[in-house]
Amino acid sequence: MKPSDASAKVVPITAARLHRSETEFLPAALEIIETPASPLGRIVALSIAAFLTIAIVWASLGEVDIVATAQGRVIPTGKSKVVQPYETGVVRRIAVADGSTVKAGDILVELDPTTEASDEARSLFGLMADRLDIVRLQALLADDPDGFSPDPNSEPRIATTARRQMEAQAAEHRAKLDGIDRRTAQKRVEGREIGTAIEKFETSLPLITEQRDIRRTLLANQYGSRLTYLQVQQQLVEGQHELTAQRHKQDENGEALAVLEKEKAEAVAGYRKGLLADLAKAELSAVDHGQEIRKAALRRGLRTLRAPVDGTVQQSALHTLGGIVTPAQTLMVIVPKDASIEIEATLLNKDVGFVRKGQPVEVKVETFTFTRYGLLHGHVSNLSHDVVTSQDAGDGRGSRSDTMDGGDERDRQARQPSYVAHVALPDAWITTEEGRVRLEPGMAVTAEIKTGRRSVISYLLSPLVRLKQEGLRER
């Protein structure tokens, strides 16, 4: 190789960098050498590193809300009032329909009160009879038939019957006592006759005894007849026996009088005892009939269903006169007028441990898309202390809408044990294109209860922590 050829390949390196347009005319290797490295790669790498650093710092220092989501519905404070019958009945009159405005005490439904009216009339009749019995028995106990003075409101026919019954009872008692008195008088007459006979024998026997002694003396001296003596002796013995018999009769008569006196006393005592027993029964029966009247009047009053509060009738189940209603059947619902409203929502077991009274709540109303109309703000006003069913919660899960995204969530919550949370709403109005619209009872809502805050990095790392705790342990 010639020196001239070698020198031709040596390009002197100058201190000045060539312009990019100049390097384009150099050979490829020299162009690479002369072209400086692009800073874009370094800038991208540094930008990514800076972004990751900032993200880690923000995730470590930044916080997000911890939210417990609960599905629910809007309810009036104190809830809507359910109208139910006390017992089975036949519809006689329907005074209202869905949408009717009523005031407290207005008649809603009338059920046939025939049975209750009949029971009340029967009890009133029984009470009247009891009161007549009481007056009758009191007059008999006082032995004053003229003191029988029935209530002026009593049925005349029944009062007359009671008076006749009183007179018959008094006459029967008097007849019984008169019979005892007649037998007593007869025994007293017999007693006097016996006394007279005894007195006669007591007077004649000494004389007969004296005659016997004389006859015996004469017979001993042989001046008299033995036959005469025996006749006198016979008279004396007969008189003594008759005197003894009369004295026995006198004792029997005295005993008979004592028995009659006792019988009379027992008759009087038994008569009064019977009257007092009947009086006690009549008074007790009067009390029972009075209670039956009050019960029948109450049941008859319950046959007329009235509005418990001012409000609007909804969900009426009555459309047929003569239809049958059953006890505790929901006939209609009264939504209170101008009543404040609140949210009744259900909390799952996994959330209830972190919810406290007073925590702030954001409410999304399904009727009004929150991205367009905004949210409502409230706070937890009450929380149940035990698991409740959907019936216990007043169907607090709201009206299910299977066509909406929230329907599946409410169905899922309905199948799990849940607690009821009440959310107070200071402002129950939503602003729409047509103006302010008030929330109505029954609207489905989603309540997001703020239970606390946590760092972003802990939120992002929580799946990894769970994986560390639970992973690789399954059988």
Domain boundaries, the chain: 64-78+339-390+415-472, 81-105+308-325, 115-301
49 contacts 445 by C-beta, under 8 angstroms: no
Q: Look at residue 475 in the predicted model and tell me its pLDDT.
A: 54
Please provide the CATH number assigned to the domain covering 115-301: 1.10.287
Q: Look at residue 285 in the predicted model and tell me its pLDDT.
A: 92
pTM of the model: 0.57
Q: Which residues contact 232 (CB under 8 A, 6 or more apart)?
A: 208, 211, 212, 215
307 contacts 105 by C-beta, under 8 angstroms: yes
Kindly provide the residue ranges of all beta strands, DSSP E only, lying in 207-331, ordered along the sequence. Answer: 304-306, 311-314, 324-325
Within a 10 A sphere around the Cβ of 132, how many other Cβ atoms?
23
Q: Look at residue 471 in the predicted model and tell me its pLDDT.
A: 64
Q: Look at residue 36 in the predicted model and tell me its pLDDT.
A: 66
Listed as ranges, residues in the chain with pLDDT below 70 are 1-26, 28-38, 389-416, 468, 471-475
Helix (H, G, I), strand (E, B) or coil at 419: strand
Would you call 176 exposed, middle or buried from its count of C-beta atoms within 10 A (0-12, 13-18, 19+)?
middle
Q: Which residue has the tokens 């619209």?
A: 437
**CA dist., res. 240 & res. 235, Å (int):** 9
Q: Look at residue 158 in the predicted model and tell me its pLDDT.
A: 85
Closest by CA position to 395, among listed 77, 83, 79, 85: 79
CATH topology of domain 64-78+339-390+415-472: Elongation Factor Tu (Ef-tu); domain 3 (2.40.30)
**CA dist., res. 355 & res. 419, Å (int):** 11
Helix (H, G, I), strand (E, B) or coil at 151: coil
Would you call 245 exposed, middle or buried from its count of C-beta atoms within 10 A (0-12, 13-18, 19+)?
middle
**CA dist., res. 397 & res. 252, Å (int):** 98
Closest by CA position to 162, among listed 128, 192, 195: 128
∠ CA 111-112-117 to the nearest 5 degrees?
A: 120
Q: Look at residue 97 in the predicted model and tell me its pLDDT.
A: 92
**CA dist., res. 343 & res. 299, Å (int):** 36
**CA dist., res. 85 & res. 91, Å (int):** 11
